[in-house]
Homo-oligomer: A and B are copies of this chain.
Amino acid sequence: MTPLSVPQTDQASTVRVGLDVGGTKTDAVALDAHDSLVARIRLPTQPGAAGVLETIRTALRGLTDQCTAGDVRSIGIGMPGQVDPGGSVVRHAVNLGLQDLDLRDLLERVTAVPVSVENDVKAAALGAYALRGGVDEALGYLNLGTGVAAGAVLNGELWRGSAGVAGEIGHLSIDPTGPLCACGQRGCIEAYAGGGAVARRWGRPGAGAVHEVFDAAEAGDRWAQRMRGEIAWAVASAVRVLTLSLDVSTVVLGGGVAALGGRLLDPVAEVLEQEAKASHFLASLRLADRVETLPAGSLAAAFGAALVGQRPH
């Protein structure tokens, strides 16, 4: 692949590219100088280091074919798993078969464009913040996928923490006698609301288990209704954690489970409202009013990755 371009001093004619590299598919977007979407593409993710690199290069070609807006100024990549705070190295991404991959270095060599790598949930948090107009003093983003993790944007900046662990609230226990979590603890939020844990307890593996549970619950299945109640309670607990620790004014739910939209939001709001009836303190926080979901198929993570791409080395 030939270098895409050298960044121009005239930034008005350049685009910033963001990619959300998921376990099965990759979304890529190009934003102009006004943060408007000028190109987008979705393609299947190929696994392994070589596969991921090829996926990214194919996505970049697809975007530049669509773009007449100008040169690529920066590339931001949202990756699942653990990304070093420096924005360069993917430490572990189990679903993609990656370990200790300096993705920034590899990509900068072939593209000659500044690259920044970020955890996908953190990128989605920044994207959700930007898509809401950048107005929230403190925004929490709760990703409900195979696992459960959060991101926070405080005063307009992504909060990464002292070692990139910020937002791992899926592994806070809400019941010491609860189900065993993959992390070794009991009763973690993720052990109730994570897609992987739900699939194991539902007895049918696969990404669609949570949707199946909701379908069955709505059809009257008692066990599914109980699981739905526990999912809603765990999501409500995560909303409480984000509000009482960080005092976020908004919690945006995203990820595959959040694609349930109102079917998820309604039982979560019901739990929060029941809890508020028992507690003046919780009632004063109006938690149910703070929660919303991303629309299904939202490009928040790719959008946020494009914004992360501006990050200085």
Residues of A within 8 A of B (CB): 136-138, 150, 154, 159-169, 171-176, 183-185, 237, 240-249, 275, 278-282, 285
- A183 with B245: in contact, given A174-B173, A175-B176, A176-B175 (CB under 8 Å)? no
- With contacts A183-B281, A281-B183 taken as known, whether A165 is within 8 angstroms of B243 at the C-beta atoms is yes
Q: Could you tell me if A247 and B166 are in contact, using CB atoms closer than 8 angstroms?
A: yes
Q: Are A278 and B184 in contact (CB under 8 A)?
A: yes
A136 CA / B162 CA spacing, docked (Å): 8
Query: Assuming A165-B244, A183-B281, what are 16 further A-B pairs, CB within 8 angstroms?
Result: A136-B162, A137-B162, A161-B247, A161-B248, A162-B247, A167-B245, A171-B279, A174-B176, A183-B279, A184-B278, A185-B275, A185-B279, A185-B282, A241-B241, A245-B246, A246-B246
A200 to nearest B CB, angstroms? 17
Among the listed B163, B247, B282, which residue makes an inter-chain contact with A249, where contact means beta carbons less than 8 Å apart? Answer: B163
Known: A159-B154, A162-B136. A169 touches B249 (CB 8 A): no
Known: A279-B183, A281-B171, A282-B183. A160 touches B245 (CB 8 A): no
Give bound CA distance, A148 to B164, whole Å.
Answer: 26
Q: Which residues of B contact A159 (CB under 8 A)?
A: 154, 246
Across the interface, A183 reaches (CB within 8 A) one of B154, B166, B185, B280, namely B280
Task: Determine whether the beta carbon of B174 is less than 8 Å from that of A174.
Answer: yes
Instruction: Output the residue of A162, A167, A245, A281 with the most chain B CB within 10 A.
Output: A245
Taking a contact as CB atoms under 8 Å apart, the answer to whether B282 and A241 are in contact is no
Q: Is the CB of B282 within 8 A of A166?
A: no
**Is B242's CB under 8 angstroms from A245's CB?**
yes
Whether the Cβ atoms of A241 and B245 lie closer than 8 Å is: yes
Q: How far is the CB of A135 from chain B (nearest CB, A)?
A: 11
Which residue of the partner chain B has the closest CB to A280?
A: B184
Q: CA of A168 to CA of B171 in the docked complex: distance in angstroms? A: 19
B244:A169 contact, CB within 8 angstroms? yes
Residues of chain B contacted by A169 (CB below 8 angstroms) = 244-245
Residue of B nearest to A140 (CB): B245
Answer whether A172 and B244 are a contact pair too, CB < 8 Å, given A136-B162, A165-B285, A279-B183.
Answer: yes
Given known A138-B161, A247-B165, A282-B185, contact A175–B175 (CB-CB < 8 A): yes
Q: Quick check: B171 and A249 within 8 Å, CB to CB?
A: no
Tell me if B282 and A161 are in contact (CB < 8 A): no
Contacts of A173 in B (CB 8 A): 174, 237, 240
Shortest Cβ distance from A175 into B: residue: B176
Top 3 nearest A-B pairs by Cβ distance? A161-B247, A184-B279, A166-B247
Q: Name the residue on B nearest A157 (C-beta).
A: B155
Query: In this complex, what residue of B is CB-closest to A180?
Result: B278
Closest partner residue, chain B, to A82 (CB atom): B284
Between A and B, 23 residue pairs with Cβ closer than 8 Å are: A138-B162, A138-B166, A150-B245, A154-B154, A162-B248, A165-B244, A166-B247, A167-B244, A167-B247, A169-B244, A169-B245, A171-B244, A171-B282, A174-B174, A175-B176, A183-B279, A183-B280, A185-B275, A185-B278, A185-B282, A241-B241, A241-B245, A246-B246
